Chains A and B, each alone.
Chain A
């Protein structure tokens, strides 16, 4: 099989720029009465599967909350299937603006496991983009779940130094809510990926 590689005619991509501080009235316009493309509700009540809530706070390098970030998630359904165009009650895509205290949440269904590189199975996870003022290129990370035994065999977690792996795992609290803080910089900095 020949892979087409006309490198000399490849166009350069359009570079990323920061989302800036003033995106909300366009991208997360609830408070402005505008139409919302997507929200924190990724699945409606009618969808089969375990309903979960993931919430957390975004922090900067001084440990201060980031009150002007936008978080997007993308995920498979409970059977491990992606729905690019969405279907009734499940889009797989969520978008949230952090509050002035840096907080965000998503309500969705627990995703299923997925095939991964080299025949390995990926543990259930959410794919995450973080946009904010002061972030010139979106930060890509993943949210795994603390109660998944499959985390041990996950081929992506295996790429992460053991001491930092916990930053990718949402911890389930006594109330059933998964907590996932995002630290942009510093001692407990979240692992970010070059995707």
Chain B
């Protein structure tokens, strides 16, 4: 299957020059980007459908002796291309803060407790329908120093490859109705409201498991559209 990558789809992304997010001030390129033709270097990419993921990698609540503290959740959804077709056997990597809003990372100095039973890193490979599923705990909101009284809304980082270098994306999944959305310059860096809504997961009672965990659905749409010729139905 051959894919095309219309450049207009990129308009959903934030601008790197988003000055409300202070770290961009010295890190956003000041020169215009140069439009790159899509050669073999861009329309190919690594595929991790069969290697590097162990059975337990998608359950972040079972990576230690005991269970982590916090609200147990299921995060599941489908990885799709722009035509809505599933992207099967593609790697999904996630990482997040613990329920108290603290990352395991050595440079996270937020004075909230680490949880000896929670690292916060997971991996999954999508199935034939493009579906992935993680079990984890809901991450806490946490403060940062972007501006006075700045707090990041609860989020889970997602990293995906898809079919090629062109579909590679790192993003963040948020939780519905978070009161911090309007104060967060990273979330607000996506200026189109519909595009921003695609970063927010959906609570789903049917994904929720009785007596066990709340369920959230989060579909991810990667770049790529069908470029194969239409076939007339009577040809089949």
Contacts and interface: CB of A to CB of B under 8 A. Distances in A.
A136 B16 contact: yes
Contacts of B30: 61, 185-186, 189
A37 to B, nearest CB: 5
Given A12-B195, A15-B199, A17-B199, A27 B95 contact: yes
A104 interface: no
Nearest to B119: A25
B104 interface: yes
Interface in B149-179: 157, 159, 165-166, 168-172
A117 interface: yes
Given A25-B121, A26-B120, A195-B165, A11 B84 contact: yes
A195 B198 contact: no
A118 to B, nearest CB: 9
A89 interface: no
A133 interface: yes
B170 A19 contact: yes
A44 interface: no
B34 A192 contact: yes
Contact of B157 (A23, A62, A66, A156): A23
Prevailing SS type, chain A contact patch: loop
A73 to B, nearest CB: 10
Given A26-B93, A27-B93, A29-B121, A11 B83 contact: yes
Contact of A10 (B46, B49, B82, B227): B82
Interface string A11-53: 1111111111111111101011011011000000000000000
Prevailing SS type, chain B contact patch: loop
A10 B83 contact: yes
A38 B13 CA distance: 26
Interface in A51-72: 60-62, 64, 66, 68, 72
A13 B230 contact: no
Interface in A149-194: 155-156, 159-160, 164, 184-186, 189-194
A15 B190 contact: yes
A155 B15 contact: no
Contacts of A85: 46-47, 49-50
Given A12-B221, A194-B33, A24 B186 contact: no
A133 B23 contact: yes
B52 interface: yes
Contacts of A13: 9-10, 12-13, 82, 169, 198, 221-223
A60 B29 CA distance: 9
A140 B52 CA distance: 25
27 contacts: A2-B230, A4-B227, A4-B228, A12-B82, A12-B194, A13-B223, A15-B171, A17-B170, A18-B23, A20-B172, A26-B122, A35-B54, A37-B93, A60-B27, A84-B45, A85-B49, A92-B46, A114-B40, A129-B165, A133-B27, A134-B25, A136-B186, A156-B37, A185-B30, A189-B30, A192-B34, A193-B36
